[in-house]
Amino acid sequence: MTLIELLQSLVRIPSPNPPGDTRAIADFIAQTMAAVGCQVVSVAPDSKPEAVSVIATLGSGDPVIMVHAHIDTVPIAADEAGQWSVDPYAAVIKDGRVYGKGSVDDKAPLAAMMQTILNAAARDSLRGTLVLVAAAEEEVGGRLGTRWLADNGHLPMCDFIVVGEQTHNRVATAHKGVMRATVRTTGKSVHATNPDRGVNAITAMARAVLALEAYHHQLAERVHPLVGVPTCNIGVIHGGSTANAVPDSCAVYLDRRMIPGEDPAAVQHEMQAVIAAVDVAPAQISIGDWLTSNWFDSTVDSPLAQTFLAVVGEILGIDPQPIGYLPGSDAKHLTEATRGEMIIFGPGSYEVAHAFDEYVDIAELEQTQRILQTFIDRTLFHG
């Protein structure tokens, strides 16, 4: 099976999340890797037994290099289905691209990683350990996928980790974190014929919205060299029920992006202080429903990381300086699984992911696999 045929096989096994049933694709990966001599473990949490992840291990001893990709995809949205020009699960090839749901996010890097290990298994001089983690649940935060694997002792301690995501084959060493929160205002509802008898929760929320906008602009003073500035976005607002009544409740949903180095506890305190300073009397205001997904940051100082950068530079013909990766990834869940360093790397762009007519460029995918193969050749087959 060629690299492209392998990718097509992966795309043709739907794994949308929700619902997050990865049993079929996990079984395919497990069988493929076991057939070449890998030690394979397929596991899932009791709370979601259909969310199966696969860990395939080749070789033994140091160094231990992990390649990680997720096997779930976003689902095909109702308004997206009619926009596809091809069957999203047919893995159609046209114009030098493989089209399909998950073709770039994240089955392209997965295919490149699997092919690299399949090639390594055909040789008998591997010196070290190569681990493939094919993880469930990334698209919904990874808590029952990579986070669960890490917390339950299923992941080895590694010297270097490559997390497969969409970087156009550049090496990314940082991404932002996310803090979600809900702001609520409470007022008093009366008939709109005499609104001054009531307390308008939407008017109160308007003051909070302006304060949050000012807070967002203040955040621009903090700059990370790879991922830019932190942000605070008001994404959703709900309030009131009809035009002829004073609304007694209003809620906004916030998305606060954190740059590496920001303390989530301090960020939460900051946002609480912003809301506490808003004068909404006689209405009441609160902030809560906190949900945090941490940022990721790594150096590239080790010999393994420097070797990977050198290979990228040679094959792409560029100065391989690290970049930032704007979306999140499972890298945030792997920080305790490495005694070395970790990068995010793979073909394509995240802007193509999660959209109709998702695709990966074949030439770029082949480049991904060549980089991975050359890196493994130099680190686990040297001497």
**Right CATH for 177-293 from 3.90.600.10, 3.30.70.360, 4.10.410.60, 3.30.70.260:** 3.30.70.360
Q: What is the pLDDT of residue 81?
A: 78
SS3 of 284, please? strand
Q: What is the pLDDT of residue 159?
A: 98
Interacting residues of 316 by C-beta distance below 8 A, sequence separation 6+: 169, 170, 367
Q: What is the pLDDT of residue 79?
A: 81
d(CA 331, CA 53): 16
Give per-residue pLDDT as tens, 163-221: 999 999 999 999 999 999 999 999 999 999 999 999 999 999 999 999 999 999 999 99
Q: Tabulate helix, strand, coil % of the chain (nearest 5).
A: 30, 30, 40
Q: What is the pLDDT of residue 302?
A: 96
pTM: 0.92
Q: How far apart are the first and last CA of the chain?
A: 29
Instruction: For residue 370, give Cα distances in angstroms to 9, 254, 272, 346.
Output: 20, 41, 49, 11
Q: What are phi and psi of 260, to 5 degrees?
A: -50, 135
Could you please state the CATH topology (level 3) that the domain comprising 3-175+295-380 is classified under: Aminopeptidase (3.40.630)
Q: What is the pLDDT of residue 56?
A: 98
Q: Exposure of 350 by Cβ count < 10 A (0-12 exposed, 13-18 middle, 19+ buried)?
A: middle
Parse the chain into domains and list their residue ranges: 3-175+295-380, 177-293
Q: What is the pLDDT of residue 383?
A: 53
Collect the ranges in the chain with pLDDT lower than 70. 382-383
